[in-house]
Amino acid sequence: MSRQMTGAEMVIAALQDQGVEVLFGYPGGSVLPIYDAIFKQEKIRHVLVRHEQGAVHAAEGYARSTGKVGAVLVTSGPGATNAVTGLTDALMDSIPLVCITGQVPTHLIGQDAFQECDTVGITRPCTKHNWLVKRIEDLPRILHEAFLVAKSGRPGPVVIDIPKDVQFATGTYVGPKNIQHKTYRPKIKGDMDAIRKAVEMIGKAHRPIFYTGGGVINSGPAASQLLRELVKATGYPITSTLMGLGAYPAKDDQFLGMLGMHGTLEANMAMHESDLIICVGARFDDRITGRLDAFAPHAKKIHIDIDPSSINKIIKVDCAIVGDVAHVLEDMLRVWKQTQPEIDKKALKAWWGKIEAWKARKCLAYKGSDEIIKPQYAIQRLYEMTKKHDTYITTEVGQHQMWAAQFFKFDEPNRWMTSGGLGTMGYGIPAAVGVQMAHPKSLVIDIAGEASVLMTMQEMSTAVQYRLPIKIFILNNHYMGMVRQWQELLHGGRYSESYSEALPDFVKLAEAFGGVGIRCDKPSELDAAIQQMIDCPKPVIFDCIVDPAENCFPMIPSGKAHNEMLFGDAVEDIGSVIDEKGKMLV
């Protein structure tokens, strides 16, 4: 239906027509007409953040936990530039967002007007697409087109920059009917010849492994279910990237855990010694491949990805299938059932035997303590005590993030929100705000470090204002933990600027915001303190004091191969394949 309205009213109408229920933002002069339109309606709930970076991360958390497009509204100039970190984070991790930015009136563009910046130019490298709307006649089409581009193909963030005079102008609004982009036509269905070739390769493999990523989750619940069916039909092992955790159940015997820089021995060694890698919705990034010339030297590679630019970008593959993961897996599973490839069961049994031997080495082992809380133990207890709850986890970035990936087990998709590609410290609190807005009755926990958490701590105020009972679980080791670890292992123990000095009293800080603070430094008191946190109806900052010297292992040093892993002191049963420096010799 078409009707006359202002540009500001068109923005709200389009958001409503696109199913947006929550809008994260911060007002300013160049978007006041839109905020006035927000005031006059009740369908969309606006969440006032305390910093525009927080608005984008909150929208990311909302989008990741729901599968919907996240929506953001910020003003021009610093409002837009403050959003850049979040936009880049969303681009790296393929998160669908529509970010609407205000702009100075069209006749002032290019004159260095107050709070003017080239938003389109600045955000072009960190968005999937962006628009500067100069005519009211174009606004409805662009608004609907933006949602299409953000959620279709490989998802990502888009920006719509709307000058203030366009917001005041009056025009004809048209709803989202038959919206298409002129040139953007992502391929959804995979080539059947390539799918048949892939099935044949899978059937003939002797040492196969499924390598899965965030693309499985982005494709929707059907993709995760189809992946599980295909993995079960083959009987093959499966591993996951950091972004793909939850697409396949962690508790399943065929799951080898996360792979990559801080992945398990069994996952990394299975990749290294495999003869076939079936890559599903992942992109062979550097944290997974390690040294490229030593990556999976004996393996043929199948790559399923909706983004054709990801194919052969980093690793040359033997069979490429461009298409949406859910559609490709559906066709692949059907062809598998039709052809019923004859698997070499003897070879597969031998392959599983080798994998079980790697598993038996218990690469995640650590030395426990009755005196000080080990960070791994803290995550394990947190996981055990939240099992019966409908739990969502966000994280900051660093050691705590990797320990969470290693020790918190995810059996369903969309429960794990973390910054993978960009590695954004400060992601976790605002992301938790977004998740809690989407799931008000669920338990939402940000697993944090004391350094990362301070970068967006102001969003605690947002949580309190909107009565969002998020739990911020800080593994406080008084260091930028991952920086300290690299300095210890790779820079001769020269801890340059990595010690967290002048930390706030997190209990008092929580209380100052109007939340609840809890501190625990004894293993014997940890369970009771975690339960207190879970039961609390308010936002909580939990200051968990952990061993400051603990390192996150296993670890593949930057630029090394999968078979050049480092292990902690507790991994004693590695035996002869470990030298005196903790390096694996294979």
Which CATH number is 166's domain given? 3.40.50.970
Q: Does a structural domain hold residue 347?
A: yes
Cα distances from 281 to residues 270, 298, 437, in angstroms, run 19, 21, 28
Q: Which of 310, 326, 360 is the last residue of a domain?
A: 360
Q: Does a structural domain hold residue 423?
A: yes
- Which residues have a Cβ under 8 Å from the Cβ of 333 and sit 6 or more positions away? 226, 229, 230, 233
Q: Does a structural domain hold residue 180?
A: no
| Claim to verify: residue 143 and residue 6 sit in the same structural domain | yes
Q: Which of 145, 174, 203 is the last residue of a domain?
A: 174
Amino acid letter, 500: S
Low pLDDT (below 50) residues in the chain: 573-586
Euclidean distance between CA atoms 457 and 506, whole angstroms = 11
Return phi, psi of residue 97, to 5°. Answer: -135, 145
Q: Does a structural domain hold residue 432?
A: yes
| Claim to verify: residue 233 and residue 104 sit in the same structural domain | no
| Claim to verify: residue 163 and residue 236 sit in the same structural domain | no
Q: Does a structural domain hold residue 185?
A: no
Domain that holds residue 506: 375-545
pTM: 0.95
Q: How many domains does the chain have?
A: 3
| Claim to verify: residue 289 and residue 313 sit in the same structural domain | yes
So what's the pLDDT on residue 584? Answer: 45
So what's the pLDDT on residue 576? Answer: 38
So what's the pLDDT on residue 1? Answer: 60
Tell me the CA end-to-end span of the chain in Å, nearest whole number.
67
| Claim to verify: residue 111 and residue 220 sit in the same structural domain | no
Q: Does a structural domain hold residue 570?
A: no
Looking at the annotation, which residues are catalytic?
52, 114-115, 164, 482
| Claim to verify: residue 7 and residue 135 sit in the same structural domain | yes
Q: Does a structural domain hold residue 365?
A: no
| Claim to verify: residue 454 and residue 324 sit in the same structural domain | no
So what's the pLDDT on residue 181? Answer: 77
| Claim to verify: residue 382 and residue 324 sit in the same structural domain | no
Euclidean distance between CA atoms 492 and 485, whole angstroms = 10
- Structure-block tokens of residue 389: 């709850």
DSSP label at residue 583: B
- Tell me the DSSP string of 4-55: EEEHHHHHHHHHHHTT--EEEE---GGGHHHHHHHHT-SSSEEEE-SSHHHH
| Claim to verify: residue 169 and residue 207 sit in the same structural domain | no
Residue 473 half-sphere exposure toward CB, CA atoms < 13 A: 29
Helices within 242-374 (DSSP H only): 265-273, 286-289, 325-339, 345-359
pLDDT digits (tens, 9 = 90+) for 213-232: 999 999 999 999 999 999 99
- Tell me the DSSP string of 82-123: HTHHHHHHHHHTT--EEEEEEE--GGGTTTT-TT---HHHHH
Q: Does a structural domain hold residue 140?
A: yes
Owner of token pair 């930028």: 480
Euclidean distance between CA atoms 91 and 496, whole angstroms = 31
| Claim to verify: residue 403 and residue 539 sit in the same structural domain | yes
User: Residue 258 belongs to what H/E stretch?
Assistant: strand 255-258
Closest-CA residue to 255 (of 271, 238, 268, 241): 238
How many C-beta neighbours within 10 Å does residue 522 have? 12
| Claim to verify: residue 43 and residue 101 sit in the same structural domain | yes
| Claim to verify: residue 387 and residue 338 sit in the same structural domain | no
Owner of token pair 């480092």: 566
